[in-house]
Amino acid sequence: MNWISDWALPKIQTLFGAKKEVPDNLWHKCPACEQMIFHRDLERALHVCPHCGHHMRIGAMQRLKYTLDEGFQRIELPKMPQDPLRFRDQRRYLDRLKEAQSRLQMDDAVLVAHGTIEGRRAVVAAFEFAFLGGSMGAGVGEALVTAAKLAVLQDAPLIVFTASGGARMQEGAISLMQMPRTVIATRMVKEAGLPYIVVLCDPTTGGVTASFAMLGDIHIAEPGALIGFAGARVIEQTVREKLPEGFQRAEYLLRHGILDMVVKRSEMRATLARLIGLLREPERAVAEGEAGSAAAPRMALPAPENGGDAAKPPASPAA
Amino acid sequence: MRHFLDFEKPIAELEGKIEELRRTTDAGGIDVAEEIGRLRDKAQALLRSTYAKLTPWQKTLVARHPDRPHASAYIAALIEEFTPLAGDRAFADDAAVIGGLGRFRGRAVLVLGTEKGHDTESRVRHNFGMARPEGYRKARRLIELAGRFGLPILSFVDTAGAFPGIEAEARGQAEAIARSIEACLEAPVPFVATIIGEGGSGGAIALAAADRILMLEHAVYSVISPEGCASILWRDAAHAAQAAEALKLTAEDLRRLNLVDAVVPEPLGGAHRDPAAAIAAVGRQIAELLEPLLALDGATLRARRREKFLEMGRSGVV
Ligand SMILES: [Zn+2]
């Protein structure tokens, strides 16, 4: 794939380009190819390197902005007990937590919003990797349960953008229990007949991968994203073998049948909108029917010989 | 030969002395018998005081004790007509997960367990209790089988965790665990899980998202091993004892956090000193917890199981 041609953006380095002294934060160094990128070019390219196509990690808020149409609404998430174990390693967990909260202006590592994607309604949950490595404790688990409930309430698909090192050790077995808790969240969405789409971003590992993140109706990943269960170092120490090229990268998972597709950030919105449109075709047909249209809902299945039944919209899920 | 843990050294020394004296009993007479009795009382007292205040790290070592009864021992003692079932129907049979049909107290059930093995040959065969994706897919298959035929599920969990391997990742280790958790939560039948030794992270919860969760007195249940936690947060695995303390991984901790339903007391000096008694106690506790579940229909069980897990961690108990 030729990333450069995809990202050959018009270079309009007029004023700033000529300046000799530029504040550091105006220039970014690509962690993959180490080329310098002007911040405005980087913004325009959705934080994908215009030189090599490397998809840089982005924050949860940025993710929501890149995904949802303007005017989306963030929802407030329930407060969970902070530091239930009074955990302390070299620092107190509570201090780490408070520091992350004030630095990132969020309560925990996930943001949830509802809005539209190219006009189609959706609930989106996005992980913030900068918040304690996007680790999953009770707050994150509860955010996902809340997002699922919201999706059901709004009859909207749930899309989760993951970026997480796994369980939050500092919450001990409570963080382990977020695995079943978030699996329950996925069941709520599926039982309501709603699409549940997972977008795996760099990196997604451990207990997050081994729970809700691997139970999507559709699995998408960003190019090059590291996705796996066990950490590379642990695997190397256990099997004492060199890891294969591209191991646990999105393209590797695609080859091994774990993903449906690897999608560039620039095409993510359009892809999600198209998927929602296709998966929710029966729903639209129902809506048309309710609006008084005489036309039978367009169903994918042929009508059975005895007529009638198959033309009914899918039964609404039991409460 | 009994395997003694480091902190059991004083007990080991006493028991060694008793053994030595016993060998000379024929030559001795009344004095030696008295001495043996005295030493035995002393050893018992020491065992009692040692095991009454095990640190979380010491409990981790007891939970991993090589002589501790493993899942297969529980199945052998508690399940009649045990009929092992094998395979994930896709790739392989993973012996790290054992399971099959059988009877518990006369009632047909499905049993599942993670098995560590008891000697070199069986440890290798069971991959030291660390399952690959096929193990979790087998678990899921058996859980679904139980659901189809209305069989209660009993699981015995004892694993350091899922196997970290190249092939395991390539074949979807994470997906296999996630699906197994899902199968546990969806099962329309009563489900009692027992953490008998090590409850290691995702590899444990994959078989333990149950209606009732039991834990043995000296078992541990944790999101990461103390060594793993120490090497990340302290940047040195040597801080494992501190990490074990911080992780709150003992049965007592888990009960206080309301993450398990009951703690089964172990024989004096741990389950490995009297496996039969330990297993019998677990059997009684399972029977007691299973009984009221048998009256509930599938939908009720599932709804309550969900509610149980959703409630976990919501109230801040310390
Ligand atoms: Zn680059």
Nearest CA in chain B to A141: B310
**pLDDT at B33 (0 to 100):** 82
Name chain A contacts of B160, Cβ cutoff 8 Å.
none
Which SS3 state, helix, strand or coil, does residue A93 take?
helix
Q: A49: annotated binding-site residue? A: yes
A279-303 pLDDT tens trace: 997 655 555 555 444 444 444 444 4
Q: Which residues contact B172 (CB under 8 A, 6 or more apart)?
A: A214, A256, A257, A258, B133
Residue B38 has pLDDT above 60, yes or no: yes
The nearest CA of chain B is from the CA of A17 a distance in Å of 43
B316: left (phi over 0), alpha (psi -120 to 50) or beta: beta
Any known ligand binding at A33?
yes
- Does residue B6 register a pLDDT over 80? yes
Query: pLDDT tens digits, residue range B125-181?
Result: 999 999 999 999 999 999 999 999 999 999 999 999 999 999 999 999 999 999 999
**∠A217-A223-A228 over CA atoms, to 5°?**
65
**A30 is an annotated ligand-binding site residue:** yes
Q: Return the domain boundaries, chain B.
A: 8-53, 60-311
A201 is an annotated ligand-binding site residue = no
Binary contact (B224, A228; C-beta < 8 A): no
Q: Percent of chain A having pLDDT more than 70?
A: 81
CB proximity B243 to A under 8 Å:
yes
Percent share of chain A, pLDDT over 90:
76
Question: B279 to chain A nearest CA, in Å?
Answer: 25
Asked if B67 and B272 touch (Cβ cutoff 8 Å), the reply is yes
Question: Is residue A121 within 8 Å of residue A287, measured between CB atoms?
Answer: no
Quick check: B214 and B254 in contact, CB under 8 A?
Answer: no
Question: What residues in A contact B170, CB-CB < 8 Å?
Answer: 252, 256
pLDDT of residue A113: 98
CB contact under 8 A, A183 and B182: yes
Mean residue pLDDT across chain A:
86
Which of A84, A239, A243 faces B317 most closely, judged by CB atoms? A84
Answer with the residue of higher pLDDT: A120 or A23: A120
The CATH number assigned to the domain with range B60-311 reads 3.90.226.10
- pLDDT level of residue B54 (50, 70, 90 thresholds): very high
At residue A308, the pLDDT reads: 40
Residue B278 has pLDDT above 90, yes or no: yes
3-state DSSP assignment of residue A160 = strand
pLDDT (average), residues B98-115: 98
Mean pLDDT within B174-196: 98
- Which among B239, B236, B266, B237 is positioned nearest to B250, based on CA atoms? B266
Identify the top-confidence range among A17-26, A109-118, B1-10, B13-22: A109-118
Question: Is residue B223 within 8 angstroms of chain A, CB to CB?
Answer: yes
Contact flag A176-B201 (C-beta cutoff 8 Å): yes
CA of B77 to the centre of ligand 1 (A): 61
Q: B223 vs A175: CB contact, 8 Å cut-off?
A: yes
Asked if A173 and B249 count as a contact pair (C-beta separation under 8 A), the reply is yes
Ligand 1 centroid–CA A4 distance in Å is: 9
Q: Which of residues 95-154 of B touch A (CB under 8 A)?
A: none
- For chain A, residues classed under CATH 3.90.226.10 are 57-282
Q: Which residue has the tokens 């004296």?
A: B21
Cross-chain residue pair A241–B223, CB shorter than 8 Å = no
pLDDT of A91 strictly over 80: yes
Among A6-10, A168-172, B222-226, name the one with the lowest average pLDDT.
A6-10
Block residue for tokens 């009563």: B190
Pick from A80, A88, A169: which is nearest to B313 by CB? A80
Distance (Å) from the C-alpha of residue A181 to the closest C-alpha of chain B?
6
pLDDT at A284: 56
Lowest-pLDDT range of A66-75, A92-101, A273-282, B83-92:
A273-282
Per CB-CB distance under 8 Å, the chain B contacts of A244 are: 166
Q: Which of B168, B178, B312 sits opposite A181 (nearest CB)?
A: B312
Q: Do A183 and B178 touch (CB under 8 A)?
A: yes
Q: Is the peptide bond before A84 cis (omega within 30 degrees of 0)?
A: no
Q: Are B172 and A213 within 8 A, CB to CB?
A: no
Statement: residue A222 has pLDDT above 90: yes
Q: Would the CB atoms of A183 and B181 count as touching at under 8 Å?
A: yes
Whole-number percent of chain B with pLDDT over 70: 97
pLDDT beyond 60 at A59: yes
The 10s digit of each residue's pLDDT in A173-209 is 999 999 999 999 999 999 999 999 999 999 999 999 9
CB of B216 within 8 A of CB of B270? no
DSSP E strands in chain A: the ranges are 27-29, 36-38, 73-74, 110-117, 120-127, 158-164, 196-204, 218-221, 261-262
CATH 3.90.226.10 correct for A57-282: yes
At A15 the pLDDT is 35
Percent residues over pLDDT 90 in chain B: 89
On whether any CB of chain A is under 8 Å from the CB of B249, the answer is yes
Chain B residues within 8 A of A234 when measuring between CB atoms: 164, 228
Nearest CA to CA, how far is A194 from chain B (Å)? 18
- For all residues of chain B together, what is the average pLDDT? 95
User: B232: which chain A residues are within 8 Å (Cβ-Cβ)?
Assistant: 169
Separation between Cα atoms, residue A62 and residue A128, nearest integer Å: 10
What is the crossing angle of helices A265-279 and A60-67, to 10°? 60
A105 pLDDT above the threshold of 90: yes
pLDDT value at position A23? 58
CA of B313 vs chain A CAs: smallest distance (Å): 6
